[in-house]
Amino acid sequence: MTVLIVDDHAQFREYLRSVLETDGFEVVADVGDGTEALAAAAATHPDLVLLDVHLGDGPDGFEVARRLAELPSPPSVIVTSSRSRTAYSERIEAAPVVGFVPKEELSAAVIRGLVSRRPVSVAIAEDSVLFREGLVRVLGDLGFVVAGQVADGAELLALLAATPVDAVIVDIRMPPSFTTEGITTASAIAKSFPSVGVMVLSQYLEPDYVLRLLDNHESGRGYLLKDRVGDLPSFAEALHRVATGGQAVDPGVVAQLMADASTPLRSLTDRENDVLRLMAQGLSNDGIASELVVSPRTVEAHVGRIFDKLGIDRSTSQNPRVRAVLQFLDQPV
C-alpha cells in the first residue's frame, strides 16, 4: 500500500515513515502542510493519506480531506491528532475519511485494520469455469465484492480498463500457452494498473515464479497454492494483505527454500530466521509477534538486526522489508 504522510512535525513524520516502511508500506512522500499535501497527492496518487488535523497555517486536516475526496482517484484518508477523538467527533463523522486514530495509538496494524473494513473488490482470471465459480462463491462468503470474472489475462486487462478493483486473482497457467500467463499478466498490470494487487494461484511449488512475480512489482503481490484457498481464514487474510499493498507468499514455498537452500543466511540466529521466514510469507510485525508469542517491540528489534546483518540500508527509497525478503527468496536452491 502506498502512503502519503501529512504532519507539520518533521520528527513525527520521520518516525512514522520508519514504522510504516519497516512493516511493508511504501511511503511515497511526507509533507508538512495542506497545500503540499494536495500537490503531493495529485503527483503520487497514494492509496492512503495519514493526515494530521492541525497543520499550522493554511487548511486544516478536515479541509484537506474534503479536497482530497474531490480528486479523480481519491485516496483513503485517516486523520490523526495528539488530541482524543472526542475533540473532533462531529467533524470526523462528517468528513470523507475512513477513521480517526490518536497519534499515540498509530501502528501498522491499526492502519491496516481501518483500511480493510471497507469491502475489497476483486476480479478473477481463471480458465476453469468450475474453479472460477467456486472462487466467486467463496469470496462472497468471505465479504469480498467480485467485480468480474474472465478466462484469461487479455480479458482481465480489458476488464480492468473498464472496472476499477482493489485486487485480482489470476491462475498461473491460462490460455493460450498454459505456462506462466499469470506472471506475465501481473507484469502488465504493474505497468497499466499499478495500484491493483495481484494474487497468483498455482498448483506448483515454484520459488522462481515467486521471484519473477515480486520482480515485476514489489508491493501488493501474492503467490499461493490453490489448495490454500480451502483454508478460508488464511486465504482471506492473505488476499486482504495483497489488496492493501502487502505481500503473501505460500508457506510451502518459504519452507522449501529454508529446507533446501545450499547457502543459507548463516549470520542470522534461529529466532531471526523464524522472523524472516514469517516476513517472507507476508506477515506484519504484529502478525509475527502473535505467531511467535512475543511482543511487537521484540519483533521490531529482530527485524532491525536482520536488516543490519543483511547490509540493507533503511535510508534509501527502497522498502527495506521487501529487500530482506527478496534477498532471502533469491538464495540458490
**pLDDT score, position 80:** 93
| CATH number, domain 121-249, options 3.30.365.10, 3.30.70.3420, 3.60.150.10, 3.40.50.2300 | 3.40.50.2300
**Domain range 2-115, CATH architecture:** 3-Layer(aba) Sandwich (3.40)
Q: Give tens-digit pLDDT for 23-32.
A: 778 899 999 9
Q: Give tens-digit pLDDT for 154-199.
A: 999 999 999 989 999 999 999 988 888 999 999 999 999 988 999 9
Q: Give tens-digit pLDDT for 297-313.
A: 898 888 888 888 877 76
Q: How far apart are the first and last CA of the chain?
A: 31
CATH 3.40.50.2300, the chain: domain bounds: 2-115, 121-249
Q: Is 163 left (phi over 0), alpha (psi -120 to 50) or beta?
A: beta
Question: So what CATH class is 255-329?
Answer: mainly alpha
**pLDDT score, position 330:** 61
**pLDDT score, position 157:** 96
Q: What is the mean pLDDT of the chain?
A: 85
Mention every residue, 6+ apart, whose C-beta is less than 8 A from residue 94: none
CATH 1.10.10.10, the chain: domain bounds: 255-329
